[in-house]
Amino acid sequence: MLTLDRVYAFSVTPQRGIDEADVAAPSGGSVRITNALRQVVDRAFEKVSATALTTVDFDFDGLRNNEVRDQVMTVAFGATQAPRTAASRLARRLSATMDNRSRSALLLVTIETDDPKRRVSMLLLPREDVIQLGGSNEELLLTLLNDAFSTGSGLRKVARMHGHNNKSQFLSAEVLDLQLMSGQKSVADFWIREFLKARPRLDSETGSRHLAVAIQRAFDAAPENDRDAAIAAIFKASSGRVAKTSLAKFADELPTELHEAYFRGLADGELRRTAFDVDRTIVKTILAQWMITTKDGVVIYAPADTIGKAVQVTQSGAKRTVKYSGTIDKERVVRGRRGAAK
Amino acid sequence: MTGPPRGRDMQRVIEAYEPRRPLLNDLARALQEHVVRKLDGLPHIDRVAFRPKDAKSFAQKSFAADEHGRLKYTVPLEDIEDQVAGRVLVFFRRDIEPVVRELKRTFNSVEQVRKEPESHDAFSYESEHLVFAIPPSAYPTGWESLEHRPHTFEMQVRTLFMHAWAEPQHDIAYKGAVVLNSDERRKIAWAASNAWGGDAIFEQVLDSLATRTPGSSQD
């Protein structure tokens, strides 16, 4: 069972663009653990655990070095003053990656122990002004944590790493980033790419392939009244409007009745909740062609981007109708297959 | 300090590991399919093969000591990174780099080491060793409910000549019951020099052919 062992808190202000040597050290340090703090942190982590966290892998230089991972392991396993110094370095790094679009914030670093394992969590909490942290500011910290987790709206970001002291550990982080799916790349990238120096665990091609095939399954399974929602999901995925998503997150675009088909064959775990960059070309390629067969045996084979434009599908009650008008490029007679026309 | 493992310690590790082998096997298969698909189209690939580590070898490694004589692996079921490992064999030295590049595009890379003799006058094992994070798309059913599981897998990329030396050498040097004497070591090093020479000569032939290929600058 994990026990809260140490807590560090730092006030971080945006310092991006400032010369490395001139980046001011963030104020803050160790926080005394009281029963009240322990309770509020436990409650906060219960809320975090109930949220779908996505997994990211740290970027390494070939020799298994990553600045954030190295500091986090020192925070977890270092001796004497080393953990506090490492926590301060993390805060300084965070500050140096924040630009003026970010407001001042409070970085909370917690260490929980369950020998030989440690869990290090970094929480970014909103704070409009810079605060001086020290022994007398526990009340303020409790208020901030309570506020952030009572509604959930105040919490900005979480990164959590767990493991024992071995080179095979702390290679990835579980991340909560409410801006992760933001269409604005720089906003989505700040916490993961720039601060953590990490990347989505699922590569873009694999994730996009799974997404397209899952949507295809949902579309095929959709009854008449859910067909429009499935079509809308196809357009959204292939339009480029969704830069980053997860299979679980994108399911929100579909009616619940289609989730069974959408998730079929996708293990209920990391694969579903891991975010990836959507490769629009892959999605479009897989969902490229639509085949519409009418009651009188006419088959329309249409590129997806002509649906809703040259190829108009309308619905009236349970009846769906297709209309198409276009210039013939070539035509030929093919031998009929037995039973092809009904 | 740790001593050599006793028989019952080995047996205990084997019993903990063996039931996981089917899952490791499924993982190896999924990774192999993924790699084969990703390398499709690259020239001169002789084969792609993955395997789960066998139980005896895993048990032996579990008791490996570090430079201070302490156990190297705290939780072997998580820490031993070649529980699933793959290998790509290519024809020529120049084919290694494009394969490595594609693998690094496909998987999140943790470590990359070029294994080669440290001294210019030594001939020995050569291979490109990589460690990658296991992607969730390769997890077999039941993987995530394992209490301890590896997060990474290993890959080797090397030429047929490198492989032709490495495999029999491994068989003789690591599995033999008798310690090799100096003369035997020298002969094995000579074989390594021939493998190195074979790769080098093919590179020269390819360079030479390139000068006479239609469209090259010397035509």
Going by C-alpha positions, the residue among B183, B74, B162, B121 that lies closest to residue A168 is: B74
The residues in B 166-195 lying below 8 A from A, measured between CB atoms, are: none
Does residue B179 lie in a domain region?
no
The answer to whether B203 contacts chain A (CB < 8 Å) is no
For B37-91, write each residue's pLDDT tens digit.
Answer: 999 999 999 999 999 999 999 999 999 999 899 999 999 999 999 999 999 999 9
Q: What integer is the mean pLDDT of A264-279?
A: 89
Kindly state whether residues A23 and A69 are assigned to the same domain.
yes
Kindly state whether residues A283 and A172 are assigned to the same domain.
no
Residue A185 has a pLDDT of 57
Task: Tell me: pLDDT of A15 over 60.
Answer: yes
Q: What is the CA radius of gyration of chain B?
A: 20
Going by C-alpha positions, the residue among A181, A162, A164, A165 that lies closest to residue A173 is: A162
Number of H helices, E strands in chain B: 7, 5
Number of H helices, E strands in chain A: 11, 14
Pair type for strands A319-324 and B109-115: unpaired
pLDDT band at A131 (very low <50, low <70, confident <90, very high): low
Task: Tell me: pLDDT of B106 over 80.
Answer: yes
Distance CA A252, CA A276 (A): 16
Cα→Cα distances B89→B30, B36, B44, B157, B170, Å = 19, 12, 9, 6, 17
Instruction: State the complex-level ipTM.
Output: 0.89
Residue B203 has a pLDDT of 98
pLDDT band at B160 (very low <50, low <70, confident <90, very high): very high
Domain extent for B14: 7-162
Residue B109 has a pLDDT of 97
Q: Which residues pair with A199 in a beta bridge?
A: A57
Listed range (A51-60, A82-91, B84-93, B201-210) with the worst mean pLDDT: A51-60
Does residue B149 lie in a domain region?
yes
With a CB cutoff of 8 Å and minimum separation 6, the contacts of B183 are: none
The answer to whether B150 contacts chain A (CB < 8 Å) is yes
Going by C-alpha positions, the residue among A288, A291, A285, A292 that lies closest to residue A303 is: A288
User: Which residues of chain A lie closer than 8 angstroms to B106, CB-CB?
Assistant: 203
The answer to whether B111 contacts chain A (CB < 8 Å) is yes
The answer to whether B149 contacts chain A (CB < 8 Å) is no
Kindly state whether residues A85 and A179 are assigned to the same domain.
yes
Task: Tell me: pLDDT of A135 over 60.
Answer: no
pLDDT > 70 in chain A, percent = 88
For B18-31, write each residue's pLDDT tens digit.
Answer: 999 999 999 999 99
**How far apart are the CA of B109 and the nearest CA of chain A, in angstroms?**
7
Distance CA A149, CA A176 (A): 13
> Is pLDDT larger for residue A126 or for residue B199?
B199
For A274-316, write each residue's pLDDT tens digit.
Answer: 889 899 899 988 988 888 889 998 888 888 778 778 888 887 7
Residue after which a domain boundary falls, among A200, A221, A243:
A200
Taking any CB pair shorter than 8 Å as contact, residues of chain A touching chain B are: 55, 57, 59-60, 62-64, 116, 163-169, 171-172, 199, 201-203, 206-207, 210, 267, 269-271, 274
- For B206, the token pair is 């390819």
Going by C-alpha positions, the residue among B148, B170, B121, B137 that lies closest to residue B27 is: B137
Residue A179 has a pLDDT of 63
Residue after which a domain boundary falls, among A144, A169, A200:
A200
Does residue A12 lie in a domain region?
yes
Report the CATH number at residue B65. Answer: 3.30.460.10
Residue A32 has a pLDDT of 87
Interface test mutation site (partner B, options A56, A169, A201, max chain B beta carbons within 10 A): A201
The answer to whether B102 contacts chain A (CB < 8 Å) is no
Distance CA B77, CA B59 (A): 10
Residue A341 has a pLDDT of 47
> Is pLDDT larger for residue B114 or for residue A275?
B114
For A139-191, write each residue's pLDDT tens digit.
Answer: 777 777 777 666 555 567 899 999 999 999 999 999 886 666 555 556 557 88
Kindly state whether residues A150 and A230 are assigned to the same domain.
no
* A168 with B136: Cβ contact below 8 A: no
With a CB cutoff of 8 Å and minimum separation 6, the contacts of B59 are: B5, B10, B13, B14, B17
Query: Any idea which residue has 């295809």 for tokens?
Result: A216
Residue A314 has a pLDDT of 83
Does residue B146 lie in a domain region?
yes
Domain extent for A133: 3-200
User: Which residues of chain B lie closer than 8 angstroms to A274, CB-CB?
Assistant: 136
User: Is B145:B151 a contact under the CB 8 Å cutoff?
Assistant: no
Does residue B198 lie in a domain region?
no
Kindly state whether residues A175 and A297 are assigned to the same domain.
no
> Is pLDDT larger for residue A50 or for residue A173?
A173
Task: Tell me: pLDDT of A123 over 80.
Answer: yes
Nearest CA in chain B to A269: B144
Q: What integer is the mean pLDDT of A320-333?
A: 88
Q: What integer is the mean pLDDT of A17-34?
A: 85
Strands (E), A71-139: 105-114, 117-126
With a CB cutoff of 8 Å and minimum separation 6, the contacts of A302 are: A289, A290, A291, A292, A310, A311, A324
**Domain count for chain B:** 1
**Domain count for chain A:** 3
User: Which residues of chain B lie closer than 8 angstroms to A64, CB-CB?
Assistant: 110-111, 131
The answer to whether B75 contacts chain A (CB < 8 Å) is yes
Does residue A81 lie in a domain region?
yes
Output the average pLDDT for chain A.
85
Q: Which of A116, A171, A269 sits opposite B151 (nearest CB)?
A: A171
Going by C-alpha positions, the residue among A270, A261, A278 that lies closest to residue A209 is: A278
Beta carbons within 10 angstroms of residue B157's beta carbon: 23
Does residue A341 lie in a domain region?
no
Residue after which a domain boundary falls, among A200, A218, A245:
A200
User: Which residues of chain A lie closer than 8 angstroms to B33, CB-CB?
Assistant: none
- Whole-model pTM: value is 0.86
- Mapped onto helix, strand or coil, the DSSP state of residue A301 is strand
Distance CA B191, CA B203 (A): 19
User: Which residues of chain A lie closer than 8 angstroms to B139, CB-CB?
Assistant: 267, 269-271
